[in-house]
């Protein structure tokens, strides 16, 4: 029951910017606040400036990506991007790997979350530790281990190995996201459905899976991103395959041109559009009554 | 076991258990054991495999011990990863606190979008951005010389570049867990401490930091592990003098073709990360279940 | 008697809204002072200004005669008990209590000793090593008070600290708080939206509504002599009759409304032609009293027996504006209670009624 009108929408954080304006009039508070301002500007610069430079270099005529000296504005690098067969091939390779990773990690991660939340006590914590261990293993090590074992049993080929190696830890992400949602699941709903004569498989399909849907959509998204951006693990298992990250890194060391920046710019634009759409959808879902759960 | 088949029925439950077993055995446990197996065997031509020379020994590990230049790189990797962890913590903590306790909901969501967009993008592109900034003829040198802070350009590639690039790459892994735990602190506790006379530093030391312990531990564990296991940043932003342990592993695999020795180095890295993770959890008195969520 | 806290022409504005309208208020040293009002009335804002978490937009706050402008919360001689108590969950009870002393640089041994002394005071000796979550609600409450008292504040500010407790415990804590305040002699400023709490514990009460100070006075005065319509309606139960003032004489006013003419005491500013309301307490209405003025003919509807007394609910019939009234009948007079469904005459003396302006 907070009586401050300013805090009604925000009662857990009574420290509003307004409050700070009042505090600012006090001498002992000015210094830390100034320090925080400076820090804040520094932080945002550190966060965003590299990306802006990366994007800006796309439009520089210089054949090495940079913004100094500015040799004239051009869109030739963007045009070159769409003509670059190698990049498109790398993109295709990444997409195939990502599809494979999603196909494996969604069902396995979901199964893992279901198994985990059905258990209790010591069995649960031991299993939990095993399931999150891939997240605490350096990516390089996952790559090596996968390479050594699966080559030995006869799985070669960059795509298959990349899918296996990436799935190894992406399953953990999926498991955590699904498990988080499962914690809010009311188990008595299952019993109610069973009591109404449904079979266990039917209950799973009609009750549990629809409940997990938002988590699965999110997990699918995370799996896609993780797969696309993975470098350290894929480096060791790629064989002769050249997914996007490998391609970019190889270009950085030999023959870097602003075409790569153009690619970065495209990915940035796609990300921003994606993020905005995501926010819009989330917002709409929240404001439409009954749409959310 | 019983709990699972009882909940989902025999066919479905068995299917879940099978998937989990395939994952944990086929992608986690056995590959890692295979890596250990490789690490303990000598590197032999195919004809001598299974022959009299093919036995277990610690030779591959001893090689690391007996080559001070490699040992030095190992220690430096640990030291630099710890430095990255501390640096990232210092960069993130004030902002995490601000996000969790001070900012209005609108500011929070705006900043979270700003923060996630760079991290939805490729890790290699983030590294590339720094590669461009830190180039000898690049914008950073140009700006510093222009401002008169430097009389002539500086070579940034090397330790400094790796540190900056890594702190940048893993920022979010530190920020989000700390933000999550700070935001669960009841603001009244901060008010109470201030009311009883505590200054800003003491409030953080006695109230906020202890409360955010779990988040800080999580952030530190992840950042350290990611830094120690990173290949991208040192490869892109390093110099011959700033080699990373992962680069040694890569060289054993793909330059010298000695997979056994590479596996031994991989096992060493894994053990290092394991020790670091357990050490930090012990240090912060946090358990794994609450750390990885 | 000196004043511990004085508010002089204090005003508080948040962006577009006025949270506190210009007001002045004096709290005497050693008194138990309550600020009573519905949620959203600005009482927490007021408390946060006294404690130093908010600076008033204009006006002055004096504590012990000293201007508190530019003195932050951590350097004021006030201590606050938060609604959520805000005990530090990761510190044992004794460290919680001694936190303010730790800040002031007291040695650990002395802090420990001081914490023990305070634990005695709140009747929890030996609880020092417990963690806050191991205590019951009432115990946590007392630890919060001890923590605030440890820094020997001139003023203790309490922000609805009892609201989280169940009814029984709340009633016990009321008595304990009152007792503790008398024993320590510290000035208490207590915020609540519960009028019975304010009336039971306080030496004086300030009633607030919509950022405005309505009335300051002793509990009995608020009850018998409400200064505004808001106070009359917020503090205790009242029967309300609306109408227009048709005449005033001496201390009295005559009100004419849909249900007749009534006479009651008036405020000095009340003039004929003003819209007003007459208030009369349920216990001041009685059955079959042969009053010449102030009579109502009502039909009895319901009868609630509540132990010491019973409440009779009745309706004064009217085509467009039927009036509900309540009568409190002491249990020894239950024989006079009207039968359900029967019509009866109720009356009250002009001394017991108050007529107040109501836009």
- Mean of pLDDT values over A124-132: 91
Cβ neighbours of residue A43 closer than 8 Å, sequence gap 6 or more: B91, B95
DSSP E strands in C69-140: the ranges are 78-81
Nearest to B118 among A40, A51, A133 (CB): A51
| Tokens 């001598």 sit on residue | B48
CB of C303 less than 8 A from some CB of B: no
Nearest to A3 among C44, C53, C72 (CB): C44
Beta bridge partners of C299: C315, C343
Q: Which residues on chain B are in Cβ contact (under 8 Å) with A204? A: 8, 12
State which CATH number among 1.10.3720.10, 3.90.1170.20, 3.30.230.10, 1.20.58.740 fits the domain covering A87-258. 1.10.3720.10
Full residue range of the structural domain in which residue B270 is found = 67-121+167-291
CA distance C287 to C242: 21
Beta bridge partners of C213: C208
CB contact under 8 A, C193 and A1: yes
Cβ neighbours of residue B57 closer than 8 Å, sequence gap 6 or more: B40, B41, B42
| Tokens 């849907």 sit on residue | A213
pLDDT at residue A7 greater than cutoff 80 = no
Provide, rounded to the nearest whole percent, the portion of chain A with pLDDT above 70. Answer: 86
Give CA angle at C85 (C83, C86), nearest 5°: 115
- Please state, rounded to an integer, the average pLDDT across all residues of chain A: 83
- Mean of pLDDT values over B152-166: 90
Question: Could you give the number of structural domains in chain B?
Answer: 2
Q: Is residue B104 part of a domain?
A: yes
pLDDT at residue A144 greater than cutoff 60 = yes
Collapsed DSSP state (helix, strand, coil) of residue C78 = strand
CB contact under 8 A, A136 and B30: no
Whether B16 and B92 share a structural domain: no
| Tokens 């409940």 sit on residue | A211
Give the gap in angstroms from C-alpha A149 to the nearest C-alpha of chain B: 5
CB contact under 8 A, B194 and C74: yes
Whether B176 and B72 share a structural domain: yes
pLDDT at A102: 96
Nearest to C86 among B191, B199, B202 (CB): B191
Range among A63-72, A202-211, B21-30, C176-185 rated most confident: B21-30
Nearest to B197 among C88, C89, C100 (CB): C100
- Mean of pLDDT values over A218-243: 90
Asked if B44 contacts B60 with a C-beta cutoff of 8 angstroms, the reply is: no
- Please state, rounded to an integer, the average pLDDT across all residues of chain C: 88
Collapsed DSSP state (helix, strand, coil) of residue C324 = strand
pLDDT at residue A158 greater than cutoff 80 = yes
Long-range contacts formed by C161-168: CB under 8 A, 24+ apart:
C161/C81, C161/C82, C161/C83, C161/C85, C162/C192, C162/C197, C163/A1, C163/C83, C163/C192, C163/C194, C164/C83, C164/C84, C164/C85, C164/C137, C165/C137, C165/C138, C165/C141, C166/C137
Cα separation values, A121 from A7, A126, B21, B228, C163, Å: 42, 9, 19, 33, 37
Q: Are strands C239-249 and C275-280 parallel, antiparallel or unpaired?
A: antiparallel
Q: Is residue B51 part of a domain?
A: no
- Mean of pLDDT values over C183-189: 92
CB contact under 8 A, C163 and A4: no
Give the gap in angstroms from C-alpha A217 to the nearest C-alpha of chain B: 16
* Nearest in space to C136 (alpha carbons), one of C103, C87, C68: C87
Residues of A with CB under 8 A from a CB of C: 1-6, 8, 14, 16, 18-19, 22-23, 25-29
pLDDT at residue C272 greater than cutoff 90 = no
Q: In order of start, what are the domains of chain C with their CATH numbers?
A: 3-229 (3.40.50.300), 237-357 (2.40.50.100)
Collapsed DSSP state (helix, strand, coil) of residue C35 = strand
Provide, rounded to the nearest whole percent, the portion of chain B with pLDDT above 90. Answer: 53
Quote the tokens at residue B220.
Answer: 């530190």
pLDDT at C219: 93
CB contact under 8 A, B197 and C74: yes
The continuous run of DSSP H or E covering A248 comes out as helix A244-253
pLDDT at A89: 92
Whether B205 and B110 share a structural domain: yes
Of A3, A14, A16, A28, which to mutate for an interface test with C (greatest number of C Cβ within 10 Å)? A3
- Mean of pLDDT values over A229-241: 89
pLDDT at A28: 52
Cα separation values, C44 from A3, A106, C12, C193, Å: 5, 50, 12, 11
Q: Which residues on chain A are in Cβ contact (under 8 Å) with B226? A: 138
Question: What does pTM read for this prediction?
Answer: 0.82
pLDDT at A18: 38
- Comparing C227 with A189, which gets the higher pLDDT? C227
For residue B68, how many other CB atoms are within 10 A of its CB?
10
Whether B17 and B78 share a structural domain: no
Q: What is the CA radius of gyration of chain C?
A: 24
Quote the tokens at residue B244.
Answer: 């990373």
- CATH code of the domain covering residue B215: 1.10.3720.10
Quote the tokens at residue A7.
Answer: 């805090």
CB of A96 less than 8 A from some CB of B: no
What confidence tier does C291 reach under pLDDT thresholds 50, 70, 90?
Answer: low
pLDDT at C292: 67
CB of A32 less than 8 A from some CB of B: yes
Please report how the helices B171-183 and B213-228 are oriented relative to each other, as an axis angle in degrees rounded to 10.
Answer: 170
What confidence tier does B290 reach under pLDDT thresholds 50, 70, 90?
Answer: low
pLDDT at C62: 92
Whether B20 and B74 share a structural domain: no
- For chain A, give the longest Cα–Cα distance: 75
pLDDT at residue A5 greater than cutoff 50 = no
Q: What is the DSSP string of C253-302?
A: EEEEETTEEEEEEE-TT--TT-EEEEEE-GGG-EET---SSSEEEEEEEE
Collapsed DSSP state (helix, strand, coil) of residue B145 = helix
pLDDT at A291: 36
Counting beta carbons within 10 angstroms of the beta carbon of residue C283, is it exposed (0 to 12), middle (13 to 18) or buried (19 or more)? middle
What confidence tier does A196 reach under pLDDT thresholds 50, 70, 90?
Answer: confident
CA distance A171 to A136: 13
- Comparing B127 with A290, which gets the higher pLDDT? B127
pLDDT at C305: 83
3-state SS record for chain A: CCCCHHHHHHCCCCCCHHHHHHHCCCHHHHHHHHHHHHHHHHHHHHHHHHHHHHHHHHHECCCCCCCCCCCCECCHHHHHHHHCHHHHHHHHHHHHHHHHHHHHHHHHHHHHHHHHHHCCHHHHHHHHHHHHHHHHCCHHHHHHHHHHHHHHCCCCCHHHHHHHHHHHHHHHHHHHHHHHHHCCCCCHHHHHHHHCCCCHHHHHHHHHHHHHHHHHHHHHHHHHHHHHHCCCCHHHHCCCCCCHHHHHHHHHHCCCCHHHHHHHHHHHHHHHHHHHHHHHHHHHHHHCCCCCC
Kindly report, residue by residue over B226-276, the tens digit of the pLDDT.
999 999 889 889 888 888 999 999 999 988 889 999 999 999 999 999 998
Counting beta carbons within 10 angstroms of the beta carbon of residue C332, is it exposed (0 to 12), middle (13 to 18) or buried (19 or more)? exposed
Asked if C1 contacts C173 with a C-beta cutoff of 8 angstroms, the reply is: no
């Amino acid at each position: 029951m907070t009586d401050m009108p300013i805090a009604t929408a925000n009662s857990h954080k009574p420290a509003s910017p307004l409050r700070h304006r009042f505090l600012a009039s006090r001498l002992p508070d000015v210094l830390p606040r100034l320090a925080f301002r400076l820090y804040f500007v520094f932080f945002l610069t550190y966060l965003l400036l590299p990306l802006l430079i990366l994007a800006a270099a796309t439009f520089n005529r210089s054949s090495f990506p940079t913004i100094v000296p500015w040799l004239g504005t051009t869109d030739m690098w963007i045009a070159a991007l769409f003509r670059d067969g190698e990049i498109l091939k790398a993109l295709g390779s990444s997409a195939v790997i990502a599809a494979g990773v999603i196909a494996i990690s969604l069902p396995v991660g979901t199964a893992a979350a279901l198994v985990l939340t059905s258990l209790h006590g010591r069995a649960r914590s031991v299993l939990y530790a095993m399931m999150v261990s891939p997240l605490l293993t350096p990516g390089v090590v996952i790559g090596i281990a996968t390479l050594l074992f699966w080559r030995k049993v006869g799985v070669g080929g960059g795509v298959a190995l990349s899918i296996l190696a990436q799935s190894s830890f992406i399953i953990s992400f999926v498991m955590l996201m699904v498990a988080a949602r499962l914690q809010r699941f009311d188990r008595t709903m299952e019993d109610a459905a069973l009591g109404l004569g449904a079979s266990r498989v039917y209950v799973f399909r009609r009750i549990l899976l629809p409940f997990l849907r938002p988590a699965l959509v999110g997990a699918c998204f995370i799996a896609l991103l993780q797969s696309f951006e993975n470098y350290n693990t894929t480096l060791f298992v790629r064989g002769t395959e050249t997914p996007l990250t490998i391609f970019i890194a190889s270009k950085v060391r030999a023959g870097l041109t602003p075409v790569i920046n153009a690619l970065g710019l495209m990915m940035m634009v796609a990300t921003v559009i994606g993020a905005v759409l995501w926010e819009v959808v989330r917002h709409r879902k929240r404001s439409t009554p009954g749409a959310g759960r | 076991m019983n709990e699972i088949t009882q909940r989902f029925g025999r066919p479905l439950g068995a299917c879940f258990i099978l998937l989990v077993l395939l994952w944990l055995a086929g992608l986690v446990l056995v590959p890692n054991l295979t890596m250990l197996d490789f690490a303990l065997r000598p590197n032999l031509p195919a004809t001598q495999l299974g022959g009299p020379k093919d036995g277990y020994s610690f030779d591959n590990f001893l090689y690391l011990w007996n080559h001070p230049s490699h040992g030095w790189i190992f220690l430096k990797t640990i030291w630099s990863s710890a430095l990255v962890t501390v640096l990232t913590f210092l960069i993130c903590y004030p902002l995490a606190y601000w996000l969790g306790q001070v900012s209005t909901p609108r500011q929070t969501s705006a900043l979270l979008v700003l923060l996630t967009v760079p991290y939805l993008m490729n890790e290699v592109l983030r590294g590339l951005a720094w590669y461009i900034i830190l180039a000898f003829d690049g914008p950073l040198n140009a700006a510093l010389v222009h401002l008169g802070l430097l009389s002539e350009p500086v070579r940034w590639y090397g330790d400094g570049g790796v540190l900056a690039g890594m702190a940048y790459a893993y920022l979010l892994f530190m920020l989000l867990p700390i933000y999550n735990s700070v935001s669960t602190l009841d603001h009244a506790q901060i008010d109470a401490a201030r009311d009883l006379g505590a200054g800003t530093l003491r409030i953080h030391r006695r109230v906020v930091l202890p409360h955010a312990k779990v988040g800080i531990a999580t952030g530190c564990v992840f950042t350290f592990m990611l830094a120690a296991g990173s290949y991208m940043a040192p490869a892109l932003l390093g110099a011959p003098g700033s080699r990373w342990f992962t680069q040694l592993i890569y060289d054993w695999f793909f330059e010298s073709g000695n997979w056994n020795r590479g596996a031994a180095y991989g096992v060493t890295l894994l053990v290092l990360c394991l020790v670091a993770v357990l050490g930090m959890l012990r240090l912060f008195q946090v358990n794994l279940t609450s750390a990885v969520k | 008697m000196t004043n511990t806290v004085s508010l002089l022409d204090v005003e508080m504005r948040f962006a577009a809204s006025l949270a506190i309208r210009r007001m002045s208020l004096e709290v005497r040293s050693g008194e138990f002072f309550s600020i009573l009002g519905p949620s959203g009335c600005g009482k927490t804002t007021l408390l946060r200004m006294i404690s130093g978490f908010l600076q008033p937009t204009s006006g002055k706050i004096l504590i012990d005669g000293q201007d508190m402008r530019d003195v932050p919360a951590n350097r004021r001689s006030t201590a606050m008990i938060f609604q959520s108590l805000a005990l530090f969950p990761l510190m044992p009870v004794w460290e919680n209590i001694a936190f303010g002393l730790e800040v002031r640089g007291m040695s650990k041994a002395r802090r420990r000793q001081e914490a023990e002394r305070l634990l005695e005071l709140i009747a929890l000796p030996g609880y020092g090593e417990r963690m806050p979550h191991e205590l019951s609600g009432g115990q946590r409450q007392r630890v919060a008070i001890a923590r605030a008292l440890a820094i020997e504040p001139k003023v203790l500010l309490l922000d609805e600290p009892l609201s989280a407790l169940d009814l029984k415990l709340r009633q016990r804590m009321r008595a304990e708080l009152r007792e503790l305040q008398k024993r320590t002699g510290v000035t208490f400023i207590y915020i609540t939206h519960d009028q019975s709490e304010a009336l039971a514990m306080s030496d004086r009460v300030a009633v607030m509504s919509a950022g405005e100070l309505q009335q300051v006075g002793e509990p009995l005065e608020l009850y018998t002599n409400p200064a505004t319509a808001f106070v009359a309606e917020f503090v205790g139960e009242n029967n309300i009759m609306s109408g227009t003032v048709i005449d005033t004489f001496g201390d009295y006013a005559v009100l004419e409304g849909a249900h007749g003419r009534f006479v009651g005491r008036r405020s000095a500013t009340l003039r004929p032609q003003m819209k007003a309301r007459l208030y009369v307490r349920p216990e001041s209405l009685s059955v079959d009293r042969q009053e010449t003025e102030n009579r109502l003919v009502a039909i009895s509807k319901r009868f609630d027996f509540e132990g010491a007394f019973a409440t009779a609910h009745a309706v004064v019939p009217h085509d467009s504006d039927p009036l509900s009234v309540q009568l409190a009948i002491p249990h020894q007079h239950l024989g006079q209670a009207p039968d359900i469904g029967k019509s009866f005459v109720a009356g009250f003396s002009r001394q017991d009624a108050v007529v107040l302006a109501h836009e």
